[in-house]
Amino acid sequence: MGLDPRIGSSFLRAGVGYGGSCFPKDVDAFVHLADQMGYDFRLLREVQRINQSQREHLLRRIRHELWIIQDKIIAVYGLAFKPGTDDIRQAPSLYFVSELLKEKARLRLWDPVAVDRFREGYPDLDYFKDPLECATDAELLLILTDWPQIRELDLSRLKEVMKCPVIVDGRNMFDPETMRRMGFEYSCVGRP
C-alpha cells in the first residue's frame, strides 16, 4: 500500500492519529451514508475508534510520566494537523490542549506556521517562535506534528533547557534507543 501514490508510506506510520479538513469528514460521511443504506460499516467505525484511542493512549502516557498534570509545564510542538500547512481543523493538538487545560497544565506552544490560527481559539496561551525557547523549563515535551525543524533540533541543547528531559512523541520523530542513551525519558507510538 505504501507504494500506491494515492496512499504513500507517510500515511502508514504509527502516530497520534489523523486530522485535517478532509479525511475525518470523509470517514464520517461514509459511515453516515452506510447507516442510511442499512449497512453497518464496521471497518470505518473501527478506523474512527482507533483514531480517537490513539489520542487517549498518548494522554494516558502523559499522565503516567507526570502523575499530576496540574501546574506542570508542558511544551507542545506542532499545532497543525500535518507539516507544511497552518490548517488546524481536527488537528490532534486541539484535543490535547483542551484535555491538558482541563487538568490545569501550564502550556507552551510552538508551530512554525499555525500559531496565528491556533491563537484564535486559545488567545491566552504562551506561544513561541523558537522551539528551544518553548521547551525551556518544560517538565514534558509533547510532539504532535512531524515538522522537519524538530528533527533538526540540537538535542543536547534541548535536554539542557528542559526542567525534566521527558518527551512523549506522537509522531515517532526519533530513534528511542538514541534518545534514551542521550538521557531522555522517551515515549513514542508503536515502539518500545
**Residues noted as catalytic:** 22
Angle between the N-to-C axes of helices 92-102 and 42-66, in degrees from 0 to 180, rounded to the nearest 10: 40
Half-sphere CA count of 136, side-chain side, radius 13 A: 8
Q: What is the DSSP string of 26-63?
A: HHHHHHHHHHHTT---HHHHHHHHHHHHHHHHHHHHHH
For 49, phi and psi rounded to 5 degrees? -65, -45
CA atoms within 13 A on the CB side of 115: 17
Cα(87)–Cα(81) distance, rounded to whole angstroms? 6
